[in-house]
Each structure stands twice: as C-alpha cells, then as structure tokens.
Chain A
Amino acid sequence: MLKYLFAKEDDIPQGSAGLFFAVSAICWFIIGTGLGSFNAAKLAFPDWYHGIYALQFGHMRQVHVHAVIFGWIAMAFAASMMYITPTLGNTKLWSEKLGVWNCLLYNIGLCLALALLWSGLTSGREYSDHIWPVDLYIAFVMVIPWGVNVWMTILNRRTQGIYTTNWFFAACVFMTAIVFLVGNLPEFFHLTGLNEAYMTWWFAHNILGLLITPVAAAITYYIVPKITGNPLYSHRVGHLHFWSIVVFYSTPAAHHLMSSPLPEWLKSFASVEGVLILVPAVAYVCNILLTMQGKWSMFVSNIEIKFTITGVLLAIPLNMQGGFQQTRAINWYIHGTGWIVAHAHLALLGFSTFAEAAGVYYGIQVLLRRKLYSASLANFHFWMLLIGFSLYWTSMTIAGLIQGAAKIYEVPYVDVVIAEHPYMIVRWLGGTMVFFGNIIWLYNMVMTARAGSIVPVGRQPVEVAYTR
C-alpha cells in the first residue's frame, strides 16, 4: 500500500484502493466483533476481567459500536464503491491515488478516534461520541475524499444512464457528509438542552437511514443482477425506493425519543414518517426478490447470493420492526430495552453486514481476478454469522420483552438483571461465534489472494471452479 502513496496515478494497479479498503474492513470487522464479544462477556460475568481498568465496560462499549460502524460497515461500503462505481460507469476509478490515501488516512483516523474514545474522551452523545476535532477529521479527511472519488467517477462515466446502485452511492456519501456536519453542530457551536438531545438522535437516525441501510441495499442491487445474470426486476420500483428513502427516511429522527419531553407534534410527525419507511422497504425487498426469479438455486449454490439474499430476507423483519416499534402503541413497551439492541443488530449485523460481506467477497475475487479459495470455509463463515446473529437476536429480543414487562409492572430492577442473566450468556455466545467466523473469513481471503484459481479476463468468478 505504502509504495503507491507517491506513485504516479498510471502506475497504481486498478482496484488497489478497493482492495485495501476491503482488507481493512475485514480486519476491523474482526476487531469490532471481538470487542462486542468481550463487552457481552462483561454483561454476563461482571467480575471476570476485574483489575484491568483499560477494559472497563463504560470505555469499551462505544469502541465496539464505532469499530463496527466506521471500521467494518463504512469501509466495506468504501471498498464496494471503489470497484462497483467504475464498473457500472464502464470506466476506471477517478483516482486510485486518492483512494489509497483515503484508505490510509481512514485507518489512521479510525485508530486515533477509537483510542481517544477508549481513554474516555467523549462528547457524551450516543453515536456521535467522537470529540469534535475527530468529527471534523471524519467529515473532511475520511468521508468527503471518498465521496469525491465516487462522484467524479460517476461524472466521468462512459455510459449514458446511471444505474440504481450508483444513485445510492453518490447520494448516500453526500448525505453522510451533510449528516456529519449538521448532526454535530451542537458540538461545534455548543448548542445545549433538548436541542442537543434531539440533534444527537437526528444524527444517529440519519447515519443509519441515509448511509448504512441504503448503501447496503445498493450493493445488493449490483450483486444480484450481476451474479444471477437476471436484469433488475424494475427500474421504476428502484426509483420509488430511492426517492422514498430521501423523503421518508430522513425525517423520523424524533421517534428515538418517544418518551422524552420533545414537542408532541414532533413525536407524532416522526411516528407517521417512521411508518412510511415501509414504502422504500417493501419496494426494495420486492424488487430484489423478484430479480431472483428462475435463479433461486443460486441461493444455495452461490456464496455471494447466499449472503446477499439472506441479508435481503433479514431486511423484512428489520423493516417490519422498524416501521411499527416506533409508534406510540408499541414503543412504550419496548423503549430502552434489549429489544432495541436486538433491532439495531438486526440492521447492522443482519441486513447490512450480510449484504456487505457479499460485496467484499465478490469484490476481492474480482479485483484480484482470483476465485475464492474455499467454498467450505465460506459456508462455515456464513453459518457462524447466521447462527451467531440469530442466537444474539433471539436472546436479546426475549431479554427485551422481559425488561418491557418488568418496566410496565415496575418490578424491582435487580429482578430484571437476574432474569436476563441466561440471555446475556447466549448473547455472548452468539457474538463470539460471529467473531470466530470472521477470523476464518480473513484466512479464506488471504488464501484466495495466494492460492485462488485465476479468473480469466472476461469471465465471472462464478464460472470458475473453487481451488479446494
């Protein structure tokens, strides 16, 4: 990587940026899920690691969240954008050099940001925990250069139209930069009180709704038609998905604070807009599943499709939960409980991660022109992820319902802690399975680079046999 930093643009092999982002993403996924598993262990057995104060739960929890969001998810997005955007524009990436620099500064920035969080330097605002100098670094050094590469690649495309995936890529990086700069205004300008509290959740909602879910969807818009060979079921339904994301998904931020003293009109408005999230959700899921017509055997036989479609199927419960759990009728019961934690993991570890994993699996094969090393290891990874996630989601949902019931009947809190203990253990087991699955994934990818069969020019990886 370092040798390309000062190389001439033409001397940098195409796809370098994408490849570096992809490998970084996998490494951060291992780190992030490792931290998650560690945190979960602390919730199950609080005295287990006593005495190592750097490993305090209160310092580690946000490091897990940001390692996963900015390390794994965002870098997997960057990796996918670096190879999908040019392919769809029938061109090359606008600047590999910018991409390589971006990847390096991204990794350095993330290490620094997480180290600061770890040592307790925090803004005290959930999801925008980073201190404001780090926020500025993220916006101007990590996100905007990435966006410039994507936007310029699309502007310099050699196709007439722009495919669905690229609308999302271009718009979502733009919105991420905006959300970062606007959502952190309370820190830049010391806004206080309920405005600060509300903006915290405006940021948190929009970073999820305008970056994490739509870009994951955009990746599946590419992977499914590309690998199955079927054209996208409907361009128009894609339009509906895109525009309803922009209009509906950017507005319900206040539904995260349904039980707080925000203005009632705002909560009602957010709640209605929150149900309307089902419009893009249903449009999207239908569009992708209908694209699979006649090719459903690939759901079993092809690893990328297996990951992608599992992600899309997980988007169904995700959006059904998301649309309805924020209405007053349901929110009062589950607000602030493990149910929400389960839902957040359904979005990030369920839907989004499965889509990104497909993007990274496919991307590394295409960029290296090498077939995946081992189908068995990939399947092992898939099942570790799916079973681990399912254990996590089920246990946390049940724990959340227990908490909800206890909340309504105002049971002494320690009884809730006792009742949740077995679910905390299952949660830890599930998270640990995901962690170990990811280590296997990294091994599989390293072996792909070293020993995967060469994919001939003009051929798809799917058409080549596995090495082992």
Chain B
Amino acid sequence: MAFREYKIGSMMFGVCLSVSMFVTIFLPGLDISGVSSTQLALEKQLTYGWESGFNYYDPFLQGKDKPIKVTLTKDPRTGAKIDETDAYVFKPGTHFPDGLTHNWILGDKVEKASASTGRIHEATEEKGGVFLVQVADDDTPYIEYATATRGWTVDAVLKAADQQFLAGSGKTMFIREGCWWCHTLLPEETQDWQTFGRPPMTGDFNGESPTTFGSDRKAPDLLHVGSRNSSREWLTMHFFNPRLVQPHSIMPRYDYLWGDKDKEGNPIDLKAWDKKFMAYAKGESIYPPEVPIPASGSEARMLIDFVLNLK
C-alpha cells in the first residue's frame, strides 16, 4: 500500500549513501592510487609476490607461489666479485606482484624507469626470472629484470646465492598463524620512532596485499625488527617456545611449524620436549632442552626468514 510516500525518502537515502561512498571510497582511492612506489614498496612486492592471504594458487596458505630473496656477492653469470646485492628469484610459473603486471601500481616515473632501463615488460610468469631493485641517478627507484639486462638465470642465481630468504612464504605463515593479531607492522607517527623505528610512508605499500598493519598491539611492533635483532638462533628459540628467551612472554609456542623432522632429519618429539621443558620451568633441571634446528623447507624456517627480513 502507498509506497509512493516513501519514494522521496528512498531516493534521498540512495543519494546520501552514494555521496558518502563517493567521498570515502572514490576520492581517497584516487588520491592513494596517485602515489608513486618507494624503493621499499618495490622490495616488498618482489619479496612477497602476488598475494599473501587466501588465493587460488595457494588456497591452504602453505607459502606456495612465492619468490625467493637471495643475497649475491658474485656475478652468477661471470663469477666476478660484485658488491653485496639482493636479488628476487621468481621460478617459472610463480605469479608476479601487481607492480610488474599492472601499469598504474608503480607510479609514472618508476614505471617508466622500470620499463626503459629495467626492461620489466620482457618478463613473463611462464619463464620466471630474476629481479633487482635499483635507484636511478635522479633518485627514482625502479625494478630491473636482471635475466634480460644481465643474463642472470634463475638456476644460476640460486646456485651462486650466499643466502636464500623464504621471506615471501614466511609472510603467508605470518598471516595464517595470526602473528598480526598481536604484533603490528605499523610504528605510529606520533611516537614509536625511538623503539620501533621509522613509521612507513604512503608509497611504501603499493602492490602489497594484504598489508597486515594489525590493530591491537599486544606485543612489540615488528616493522623494523630485523634491524633490532638479527640473530637467527635467538629467533629459532623464540618461535619454538618464547619463554626460553623471555620468561614473561605471553606469545604462543610455534613449535608445530617445525614439522616432523629437524634439519639433520632426526624426528622431533614435541611431547618429550615439553616434558623436559616443564621440568626446567619448575626448576627441576638446570638447562632447558635443546631446540631443534628447523629443516630448510619447514614452515618455521619461512617464518624466521620473514621476520629477519623486516629491516
């Protein structure tokens, strides 16, 4: 009956909601999308790959479909000594971050430099390849497709690498295990500079998904944790049982990320370990049990790599 009298109301409602969404989605979207990538954003995209949350290529969040970050001190092609360089290795089939596949992610100048000097448009996901982050003379950061510009192939780079960081897969672990429910990745602009380091800038996030700022800080901010604490041994103990290195910590244990076997292939018995630990915690034994070293493909190793890489 007589819906007519509510026609004006419904129209006003539509107008209000549309204007609201125009102002709160469209305008900020335009503004944010107009910001150019910083060097950090390029590094993050190349470290974390396409998507770290649920996606079609890694539906169970096991850290699949991710690039590998490596450090090089010699040229993988010629073997000549070079300055320490970070390279990002995408094995064939690994999906590229949006910055490599979409034109409007990097920002005009960065996009141009990456295309002309860096030759990124020659890269395809089927072939994979090796990428570097460079800075031009006018301080414009850009991505270089080293497979085209220097002839660095995936296999050669992985072979020549001094160190491999599975930081991209580690970010998947960081999301799946809910680390970001307590650890923020966002030092605040109004304080935090001294303890947690420089807050991020607007262009630091281009192409990253998800950003996992975190909102409820029950634990230290981790954005620059790799600069404060770069000890792999400390982190290994901390993830296995945080109370080994910090008795007052309320962080959960992540010992199950070690899997069945340690680095040497010895089986890991968490129950027996826990028994020894509880004896130590009660003061019945002097030393805590040894923490197994994670296997090179284990989820624990990925997560530790991710945290160490947060410089």
Residues of A within 8 A of B (CB): 42-44, 46-47, 50-51, 53, 56-59, 61-62, 120-126, 131-132, 155, 157-158, 160, 162, 167, 171, 175, 178, 182, 186-187, 190-200, 202, 243, 246-247, 250-251, 253-254, 256-257, 259-263, 265-266, 269-270, 332, 335-338, 340-341, 403, 407-408, 410, 412-414, 417-418, 424
* Interface range for B: 35 or more
Known: A193-B209, A257-B213. A198 touches B28 (CB 8 A): yes
Residues in A neighbouring B17, C-beta threshold 8 A: 175, 178, 246, 250
Chain A CB within 8 A of B78 CB = no
For B109, the chain A residues whose CB sits under 8 A away are none
Contacting residues of chain B (1-33) with chain A, CB-CB under 8 angstroms: 1-3, 6, 9, 12-13, 16-17, 20-21, 23-25, 27-29, 31-33
The residue on B at minimum CB distance from A53 is B256
A132 nearest CB neighbor, chain B only: B54
Cβ of B216 within 8 Å of any chain A Cβ, yes or no, is yes
With A157-B1, A199-B25 as given contacts, are A120 and B61 in contact (CB-CB < 8 Å)?
Answer: yes
Residues on B with C-beta less than 8 A from A340 are: 215-216
Q: How far is the CB of A167 from chain B (nearest CB, A)?
A: 8
- Tally of A-B residue pairs with Cβ under 8 A? 218
B31 touches A247 (CB 8 A): no
From A126, A198, A253, A410, B191 is in contact (CB under 8 Å) with A410
Q: How far apart are B296's CB and chain A's nearest CB, in angstroms?
A: 22
Residue in A178, A182, A335 whose Cβ sees the most chain B Cβ within 10 Å: A335
Which residue of B6, B12, B202, B214 contacts A262 across the interface (Cβ within 8 Å)?
A: B202
CA distance A169 to B251 in the complex (A): 42
Q: Are A122 and B209 in contact (CB under 8 A)?
A: no
Contact (Cβ within 8 A) A124 B181:
no
Choose the segment among B66-74, B114-122, B135-143, B242-250 that binds chain A (4+ C-beta atoms closer than 8 Å). B242-250
Quick check: B53 and A122 within 8 Å, CB to CB?
yes
Q: Contacts A122-B175, A197-B205, A197-B213 hold; do A336 and B188 have CB atoms under 8 A apart?
A: yes
Complex-state Cα separation, A243 to B253, whole angstroms: 49
- Bound Cα distance from A341 to B191, whole angstroms: 21
Summarize B's interface: helix, strand, loop or mixed. Answer: loop
Contact yes or no, A193 B211, CB < 8 A: yes
Q: A57-B181, A410-B192, A413-B219 are in contact. Are A131 and B54 (CB under 8 A)?
A: yes
Chain A residues, Cβ within 8 Å of B33: 195
**List of B residues within 8 angstroms of A193 by Cβ:** 32, 41, 105, 205-209, 211
Q: How far is the CB of A210 from the nearest CB of chain B, in Å?
A: 9
Instruction: Classify the secondary structure of A's interface with B.
Output: helix
Which chain A residues border B190 with CB–CB below 8 Å? 259, 332
Known A-B contacts A197-B213, A336-B184; the reply to A417 vs B250 at CB < 8 A is: yes
By the criterion CB–CB under 8 Å, are A46 and B210 in contact? no
Which residues of B are at the interface with A, using a C-beta cutoff of 8 A?
1-3, 6, 9, 12-13, 16-17, 20-21, 23-25, 27-29, 31-33, 35, 41, 50-54, 59-61, 98, 105, 175-181, 184, 186, 188-192, 194-195, 199-202, 204-220, 242-243, 246, 248-253, 256, 270-271, 274, 281
Q: Which residue of A lies closest to B35 (CB)?
A: A194
Contact between A160 and B2, CB atoms less than 8 A apart: yes
Name the residue in B23, B180, B191 with the highest tally of chain A Cβ atoms < 10 Å from its Cβ: B191
On whether the beta carbons of B209 and A259 are closer than 8 Å, the reply is no
Complex: A282 Cα to B189 Cα, angstroms:
32
Instruction: Name the distance in Å between B235's Cβ and chain A's nearest Cβ.
Output: 16
With contacts A251-B23, A259-B190 known, is A46 near B199, CB below 8 A?
no
**With known contacts A132-B54, A196-B210, A58–B179 Cβ distance under 8 A:** yes
Residues of A within 8 A of B61 (CB): 120-122
**In the complex with contacts A58-B177, A122-B176, A250-B17, A263-B252 CB distance below 8 A:** no
For the complex formed, measure the closest distance between the CB of A180 and the CB atoms of chain B, giving whole angstroms.
13
Closest 7 pairs (CB-CB, A-B)? A58-B178, A259-B188, A124-B53, A124-B175, A332-B190, A131-B54, A124-B210
What residues of chain A lie closer than 8 Å to B35, measured between beta carbons?
Answer: 194
- Of A122, A167, A336, the most chain B CB neighbours within 10 A belong to A336
* A121–B208 alpha-carbon span in the complex (Å): 19
Complex Cα spacing A146 to B54, Å: 28
**A residues near B271, Cβ cutoff 8 Å:** 51
Could you show 13 A-B contacts with beta carbons less than 8 Å apart? A43-B250, A50-B253, A56-B178, A131-B53, A171-B13, A186-B210, A193-B205, A247-B16, A250-B20, A257-B213, A336-B215, A407-B217, A414-B248
Complex: how many Å from CA A158 to CA B27?
43
Cα A262 to Cα B13 with chains together (Å): 28
Q: Which residues of B contact A407 (CB under 8 A)?
A: 188, 191-192, 217
Q: Are A196 and B209 in contact (CB under 8 A)?
A: yes
Interface contact B189-A261, CB-CB below 8 Å: yes
Partner of A195, one of B32, B59, B177, B191: B32
The smallest C-beta distance from A82 to any residue of chain B, in angstroms, reads 21
A32–B248 alpha-carbon span in the complex (Å): 28
CB pair A200–B181 under 8 Å, yes or no, is no
A182–B253 CA distance with the chains assembled, in angstroms: 37
